[in-house]
Structure 1
Amino acid sequence: MAVPASKAELLAAIDLTFDRLMADLARTPLERVDETTLPGHAAGTLMSPADLVAYLIGWNELVLKWLDRDDRGQPVDFPETGFGWNQLGSLAGKFYADYRALDWPQRLERLTLAKARLIETISARSDAELYGRPWYDKWTKGRMIQFNTSSPYANARGRIRKWLKT
């Protein structure tokens, strides 16, 4: 899939990759969702399918936080307060812990709701806002959204499909 360069392409990429991911997550046996046998987001670690979904919820909700803060004229602390870009493995661990109390159906519902909120907020924005100028470093707002939504959905789908085959 080509890198989105417009609002319409971004929305299509998010919808397509999300729908494909959810179809594969639906095939995950409930008795295996907490099985810690998937390669983790930090080198040498393992995670469960439930952790993988928690990771996606974390990033989706973080993107929503970025957009909300930006809309209110507040500074955005990329990637997250207390974490640098060189600490993404630790941030992944935080996401796993943040959603540990949610069971599998609740995690899938929370991810679905976060994705719906993203679609809503992206739909309310113009192509100029999303792709007209850099937002973080050299990256546009649309590209930063894509980096943390449709790209991780595709990555997670590849991980879960490989795991389901084992």
Structure 2
Amino acid sequence: MKSYSSKEDLIAAIRLSYTKFIQEFKDIPASLGNKRSDLVDKTPAEMLAYQLGWIALLLSWDEQELAGVEVQTPTPNYKWNELGNLYQDFYRQYADLSLKELQVKLDKSVVHLIDWVKSLDNQDLFEPGQKKWATTKAMWPVWKWIHINSVAPFTNFRPKIRKWKKAVLD
């Protein structure tokens, strides 16, 4: 996994990986947003919903902690070994939105994520144990949680959406 030496490097990675990912959606017709392909495990709409769900969760953990609420990760309803069910909730939560609406919503979520990263000081971002919600057995620093829930999936879903487009659009 990539490591970051500065807040600016992390923000640049978020922006670059997101830009590359979201550009892949420009030539997908709205009518095909929920079309399945046997070659890819998620539809385009599900890929966007997945990202929306994780960014919202990540931001909510910090908001809850700042409000004095004891945070249960990933959610009070799901444990870490139940992520498949959590993903299904993400898909249901955003199921009524069009592909374009999902993209607009994700654009705003990424801006919110970057604004949050900008608001964190280097200690909160790079030193483990600074946020109660981030004190799992692994003791990851916050930057790692951000990377795992934004940069990594944006990067990993890009080949998936390309594979989906090749199977469905060609």
- SS at structure 2 position matched to 1:139: coil
User: Taking structure 2 as the reference length, what is the TM-score of the superposition?
Assistant: 0.87
Aligned position for 2:14: 14
8 Å CA contact retained: 2:126, 2:142: yes
Structure 1 residue 10: Cα displacement: 1.3
8 Å CA contact retained: 2:40, 2:164: no
8 Å CA contact retained: 2:49, 2:91: yes
1:17-48 per-position Cα deviation (integer Å, ceiling 9, x unaligned) = 000001112132333211022633xxxxxx32
- SS at structure 1 position matched to 2:25: helix
Gaps of 5+ in 1: 41-46
For residues 53 and 19 of structure 1, the distance between their equivalents in structure 2, rounded to whole angstroms, comes to 13
Q: For the structure 1 residues 123 and 112, does the alpha-carbon distance in structure 2 shift closer, same or farther, using more than 3 Å as the test?
A: same
Aligned position for 2:145: 144
Aligned amino acid, residue 60 of structure 1: I
1:134-164 per-position Cα deviation (integer Å, ceiling 9, x unaligned) = 3322111111111111111111112101211
Aligned position for 1:44: none
Pairing 1:78–2:77 present: no
1:65 to 50, 54, 60: 60
- SS at structure 1 position matched to 2:24: helix
Pairing 1:163–2:164 present: yes
Q: Percent identity?
A: 29
Number of equivalences: 160
2:128 to 112, 133, 140: 133
8 Å CA contact retained: 1:51, 1:96: yes
1:117-137 per-position Cα deviation (integer Å, ceiling 9, x unaligned) = 111111011111111223322
For residues 99 and 157 of structure 1, the distance between their equivalents in structure 2, rounded to whole angstroms, comes to 20
* Alignment of structure 1 residues 39-54 onto 2, 5 Å: 39-40=40-41, 47-54=42-49
Name segments (4+ residues, structure 1) moved above 4 Å: none
8 Å CA contact retained: 2:40, 2:163: no
For residues 17 and 79 of structure 2, the distance between their equivalents in structure 1, rounded to whole angstroms, comes to 27
User: Taking structure 1 as the reference length, what is the TM-score of the superposition?
Assistant: 0.89
Aligned-pair Cα RMSD in Å: 1.6
8 Å CA contact retained: 1:4, 1:13: no
For residues 91 and 6 of structure 1, the distance between their equivalents in structure 2, rounded to whole angstroms, comes to 31
Gaps of 5+ in 2: none
8 Å CA contact retained: 1:6, 1:130: no
